[in-house]
Homo-oligomer: A and B are copies of this chain.
């Protein structure tokens, strides 16, 4: 094991031990005791390496190495410190550890940068404790009205404002001021998919984050006796649903990458072996890097669903409850990351992200790009979440090379 591998391994083991749960995973939710312990532990670690630390008003932790020539131009790097319930050891926190190690190595090798280098351990991204995601990154750009979350309640009945105060932060009375000192943001994260694994690459430069549309679809027909109702008298919602799903997936396969289409949740009523289901509910999740292509595909599909409902003599209700535009990464920063990977002779590729990340908030305000490392079997949000140590290390090398270009070069 190289020194760098050992360092990465140790730091991840240390950080994921804070919030270790009884199901072999890590559960560290916004403002809970483990969250407080992790942020304080990171603060201490940052300070030991001579970084200037500070918490912002909502608990985003920074460790800063001030630049010589452009101290107010910050090259920011990091990810989120919170996990999902029973999460793995990498989602979010690998980005913090990698950023910290990268800055430490750059400082040791090259001393003070031209621009300030700052690692950030963001307060929250997952939305796992309260029904609100991107609390950390959104507050950096003044995007949250505190009233939106103030009265949110977690699964134990604790109110958001109280949880925040218990963690030592005053609940803000108004939107945060927008940070205006960020020159660039680079986030490294696990892929949470199996593209890198399947293509044999160790690192990816991420050039965009997909747009997402989510739908609830409800079909109403008639619950009938499975034996006494001839086929021609039925209003069978499971039949209609099955036609919609199988046609939808066939169309998505024809459309091809980067479009993905998922029918993840299915519920049927009365859900009994000998009754024709009078009601069916299912969700549809569709993603694409091109907003126009996403709109066109989904609107065609919705039109077809209505036709199928008519053919099957069932009523259909379609609720499009999520509609997020794709977010392209900064072309300039993507180029810098690609060059850095090439110059470091890394086994890399360029791809889009099919999942959401803090970077999609940043990219709408400051020059941003991401790096990915592979996820074994594409698994994440699960204690089985894992990446080969060699691949994590190649990711850290890519980040070091990228931050060098951004902070040490004019």
Contact = CB atoms under 8 A, between A and B. Distances in A.
A275 to B, nearest CB: 5
Contacts of A266: 238, 266-268, 271, 277
Nearest to A382: B223
B262 A274 contact: yes
Which of A191, A230, A277, A355 gathers most chain B CB within 10 Å? A230
A405 interface: no
A246 B253 contact: no
Contacts of A378: 224-225, 228-229, 233
A261 interface: yes
Given A246-B242, A260-B231, A273-B285, A225 B192 contact: yes
A134 to B, nearest CB: 15
Interface residues of A, number: 62
A230 B257 contact: yes
A226 B271 contact: no
A368 interface: no
Contacts of A345: none
Count of identical protomers in the assembly: 2
A241 interface: yes
Given A230-B195, A231-B260, A273-B283, A246 B246 contact: yes
Interface string A197-232: 010000000000010101000000000111111111
B191 A228 contact: yes
Contacts of A285: 226-227, 273-274
A304 interface: no
A228 B261 contact: no
A246 B245 CA distance: 10
Nearest to A375: B228
Contacts of A232: 253, 257
A87 interface: no
Interface in A224-270: 224-233, 236, 238-239, 241-246, 249, 252-253, 256-268
A356 to B, nearest CB: 8
Contacts of A271: 264-267
Given A193-B228, A225-B192, A214 B273 contact: yes
Nearest to A381: B225
A193 B236 CA distance: 15
A264 B260 contact: no
Given A264-B276, A268-B266, A273-B285, A194 B242 contact: no
Nearest to A287: B227
Nearest to A214: B273
6 contacts: A193-B225, A227-B354, A230-B260, A231-B261, A239-B245, A242-B242
Interface of A: 191-195, 198, 210, 212, 214, 224-233, 236, 238-239, 241-246, 249, 252-253, 256-268, 271-277, 283, 285, 287, 353-356, 375, 378, 380-381
